Amino acid sequence: MKLYTFTGENPAIALQKAQNACGNDALVVSTKQLQKKSLTSPALYEVVVAVESEKKETPPATKKRKVSLDDDVLLDISSRAKELSTQMQQEQKPTETLKPQTTAIASEDFEKLQRDLKTLNDKLSNLQEVLWEDKSEKRANLIIPPEFAAIYNTSKKSGMSQVHLDDIMKSTLEHMPAYMKNAPETIARYFQVLLKKMLGVRIEREIPKGMKKIVMLVGPTGVGKTTTLAKLAARFSFIEHRYKVGIITLDTYRIGALEQLFQYAKMMKLPFEDVVDTQDFQKALDTLSYCDLILIDTVGASQFDREKLEKISNFLHASDRSIDVNLVVSASTKLEDLRDIHANFAFLNLDTMIVTKFDETKGFGNIFSLATETSLPLSYFSIGQEVPDDIIPASSDFLVDCIFNGYQGRES
Ligand SMILES: Nc1nc2c(ncn2[C@@H]2O[C@H](COP(=O)(O)OP(=O)(O)O)[C@@H](O)[C@H]2O)c(=O)[nH]1
Ligand SMILES: [Mg+2]
């Protein structure tokens, strides 16, 4: 039970205010005159009403409030996102709970919203029945209200891990402010903000003056390492930056692969070194030591090809220079395979992840799950075959938009 006080020139005005704010079910606790009418000022009456505690999420409205993600809620989402990320990495259940925020909403808006939503809820309940083929044991402890059905289904179809989806949904149900829980669009926005905050992104930075950066791309065959390297070379040498860029390839097994990168280097007039064994690797780095950025391409190694992976590791250890190791994966690879790929490349001490082939898939939940599970920050997204244009710096907004709306081109 919560008490609220209202004032007015006469008891009727004060009561009217109380009724507008707290509805017809509020109980009048007391009415008293605070001030008598005088020549200069009107009388003042006070009405105290009590509201059942389950209504405490909608305290009397002093001013109209839009149902939107306000600062308090965003703060709350941030904490939830951090908690969930940690939980996913550790595969543990959450131990903390955060108090939901109570926020006011004008009662007439609230009543209208409730009527509209009831109609919508009925429709969604029916839809829910049709769409959810699996009422599996995994969701046994999670009862999803109809308003959450659309976002749940979209996320599920995106290829996100079922465990993540259920954890995030559970957290949203528990911690989302009650006044937001009735509108599917608001739920979707809350859910999306939560996902964005869970993703780690490595922002592209200037290379500090006097520093040299060495970047190596590793990953399975055919994911787009060589084309991505060519795009990065262009981006750093003449599109976004004006650095001296050099290229080394360790992929000398196939003439085609060597020729592919050689042609790119030639077109961009960039120095190019091909390296066969580890002794040559240090020499090539020395030859390119005048460059601000050295990009290294590697042979595509199936995640199960230990011999090739060991060879890449030998190259990394053959130099005393610090090398930024970027795992390149394709967005069109399913989560189980992405996990295997990451597990097998992880011993190379990965620094970041580049995701390619955004234009070749509809589901991006797999990338979301891999990134949160591994806490490997995302650095670039490759969004097509065109060199040098089809690359953008990674962004959590972009990835989450892709999860819910599909890849819509670079402006999405
Ligand atoms: N559709 C699409 N194709 C890509 C993308 N990135 C690379 N590719 C293509 O994937 C194929 C393999 O690329 P490549 O760079 O040789 O892969 P690597 O074996 O990992 O070096 C080529 O046909 C590329 O044009 C991308 O973002 N989208
Ligand atoms: Mg290649």
- Tell me if 145 is assigned to some domain: yes
Q: Strand 272-274 vs strand 245-249: parallel, antiparallel, or unpaired?
A: parallel
pLDDT of residue 66: 46
Residue 42 is encoded by which pair of tokens? 């009107």
Ligand nearest to the CA of 390: 1
SS3 content of the chain, % helix, strand, coil (to 5): 45, 15, 35
User: Which among 228, 356, 392 is the best mutation to test ligand 1's pocket, defined by most ligand atoms within 8 Å of the CB?
Assistant: 356
How high does pLDDT run on average in the chain? Answer: 83
Measured between alpha carbons, how far is 350 from 218 in angstroms, rounded to an integer? 9
pLDDT of residue 263: 94
The answer to whether residues 190 and 231 belong to one domain is no
Reference 183, options 275, 83, 115, 255; nearest CA is 115
Residue 411 has pLDDT above 80, yes or no: no
The answer to whether residues 185 and 239 belong to one domain is no
The answer to whether residues 188 and 126 belong to one domain is yes
- Tell me if 182 is assigned to some domain: yes
- Number of Cβ within 10 Å of residue 201's Cβ equals 18
pLDDT in tens, 361-380: 999 999 999 999 999 999 99
pLDDT band at 64 (very low <50, low <70, confident <90, very high): very low
CATH number at residue 238: 3.40.50.300
Q: What separation in Å is there between the alpha carbon of 228 and the centre of ligand 2?
A: 9
> Which range (78-87, 96-105, 193-202) has the least confidence?
96-105
Which residue is it, tokens 């990835």? 399
Q: Strand 293-297 vs strand 324-330: parallel, antiparallel, or unpaired?
A: unpaired
Could you check whether the bond before residue 388 is cis, i.e. omega within 30 degrees of 0?
yes
Residue type, 340: D
Which value, in Å, is the radius of gyration of the alpha carbons in the chain?
29
Measured between alpha carbons, how far is 351 from 371 in angstroms, rounded to an integer? 12
**Sequential DSSP letters for 291-331:** -SEEEEE-----TT-HHHHHHHHHHHHH--S--EEEEEEET
Which residue is it, tokens 């509209």? 116
Q: What is the sign of the dihedral through the CA atoms of 190, 195, 198 and 201?
A: negative
The pLDDT > 90 percentage for the chain reads: 48
**Ion ligand 2 nearby residues (CB, 5 A):** 225-226
Ligand nearest to the CA of 328: 1
Q: Strand 213-218 vs strand 272-274: parallel, antiparallel, or unpaired?
A: unpaired
The total number of structural domains that make up the chain? 3
Question: Stretch 88-92: mean pLDDT, rounded?
Answer: 60
Measured between alpha carbons, how far is 271 from 265 in angstroms, rounded to an integer? 7
pLDDT in tens, 110-142: 777 777 766 666 665 545 544 544 444 345 467
Measured between alpha carbons, how far is 124 from 127 in angstroms, rounded to an integer? 5
Measured between alpha carbons, how far is 412 from 307 in angstroms, rounded to an integer? 41
Question: Stretch 145-164: mean pLDDT, rounded?
Answer: 90
Question: Stretch 330-338: mean pLDDT, rounded?
Answer: 97
Q: What separation in Å is there between the alpha carbon of 221 and the centre of ligand 1?
A: 9
Ligand nearest to the CA of 230: 1
CA–CA distances in Å: residue 187 to residues 108, 279, 351: 21, 57, 34
The answer to whether residues 258 and 366 belong to one domain is yes
Relative to the CA of 220, which ligand 1 atom is closest?
A: 20
Q: What separation in Å is there between the alpha carbon of 340 and the centre of ligand 2?
A: 20
Q: What separation in Å is there between the alpha carbon of 345 and the centre of ligand 1?
A: 19
The answer to whether residues 218 and 340 belong to one domain is yes
Measured between alpha carbons, how far is 63 from 234 in angstroms, rounded to an integer? 54
Residues with CB under 6 A from ligand 1: 221-227, 300, 356-357, 359-360, 382-385, 390
pLDDT of residue 120: 64
pLDDT in tens, 244-259: 999 999 988 777 888 8
Residue 345 has pLDDT above 90, yes or no: yes
Residue-number span of the structural domain to which 392 is assigned? 213-405
Measured between alpha carbons, how far is 208 from 203 in angstroms, rounded to an integer? 14
- Tell me if 275 is assigned to some domain: yes
- Tell me if 220 is assigned to some domain: yes
Q: What separation in Å is there between the alpha carbon of 333 and the centre of ligand 2?
A: 17
User: Which among 218, 221, 227 is the best mutation to test ligand 1's pocket, defined by most ligand atoms within 8 Å of the CB?
Assistant: 227
The answer to whether residues 189 and 217 belong to one domain is no
The answer to whether residues 186 and 331 belong to one domain is no
Q: Residue of the nearest CA to atom 3 in ligand 1?
A: 385
The answer to whether residues 319 and 359 belong to one domain is yes
DSSP 144: P
- Tell me if 327 is assigned to some domain: yes
Measured between alpha carbons, how far is 21 from 8 in angstroms, rounded to an integer? 14
Q: What separation in Å is there between the alpha carbon of 410 and the centre of ligand 1?
A: 17
The answer to whether residues 25 and 147 belong to one domain is no
**SS3 at position 36:** coil
Relative to the CA of 300, which ligand 1 atom is closest?
A: 19
pTM: 0.73
